[in-house]
């Protein structure tokens, strides 16, 4: 049986259009919260909520620089995500070999 608890945190983080837009924006590099808010049209309070979820999922990391928080993609975010996806597709392929043959 697969342990899915840590995977759920990541997949839930990806299940929101604003968070996907944030991840796409951060592909360009590090950005402060004010720039993310202005460029994506997400209010600061909502941005803070979304960034907390992305950081908990370890897809994004943050750094306090003076008054502002700066965010960037986690160095291993791509590998982490690919590993989680591969785990489930491998499991699905393995289970398909146990299909009922009909009686």
Q: What is the pLDDT along the chain (103 residues), one digit of tens a residue?
A: 566 888 899 999 999 999 999 999 999 999 999 999 999 999 999 999 999 999 999 999 999 999 989 999 999 888 888 888 888 777 555 555 556 666 5
DSSP 32-70: EHHHHHHHHT--HHHHHHHHHHHHHTTSEEEEEETTEEE
- Please tell me the class of the 5-96 domain: mainly alpha
């Amino acid at each position: 049986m697969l342990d899915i608890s840590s995977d759920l945190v990541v997949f839930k983080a990806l299940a929101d259009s604003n968070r996907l837009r944030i991840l796409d924006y951060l592909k360009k590099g590090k950005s402060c919260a004010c720039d993310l808010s202005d460029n994506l049209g997400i209010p600061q309070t909502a941005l803070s909520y979304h960034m907390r979820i992305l950081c908990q999922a370890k897809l994004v990391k943050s750094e306090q620089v003076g008054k502002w928080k700066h965010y960037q993609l986690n160095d291993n975010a791509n590998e982490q995500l690919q590993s989680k996806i591969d785990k489930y597709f491998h499991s699905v392929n393995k289970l398909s070999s146990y299909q009922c043959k009909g009686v």
